[in-house]
Amino acid sequence: MVLIMVKKIEISHPGSLKDLGYNEEEDIEKQKIAIKKADELYGVEETNRKLTALESFSNRFPDKKEKIRELIEWNKNNE
């Protein structure tokens, strides 16, 4: 028997990072601009919660997951 634990991440305003210009295909500077806009609207904690959700959905793509982890750390350090 295999037991799988799933951590539920509560997110307000789904899709709001995309609405603010966040796109995983864009360069890192454009992503940071969108993250800062989200920080102003929702706060750093909520923005990092949104990024953490994106990170958890990227488990099959280690390079994307690492890039999102770096953005989360950058955002924490630049409050």
Say which amino acid occupies 67: K
For 63-78, write each residue's pLDDT tens digit.
999 999 999 999 999 8
Under 8 Å between Cβ of 49 and 10: yes
For 17-62, write each residue's pLDDT tens digit.
999 999 988 899 999 999 999 999 999 999 999 999 899 888 889 9
Under 8 Å between Cβ of 58 and 64: yes
For the whole model, what pTM was predicted? Answer: 0.81
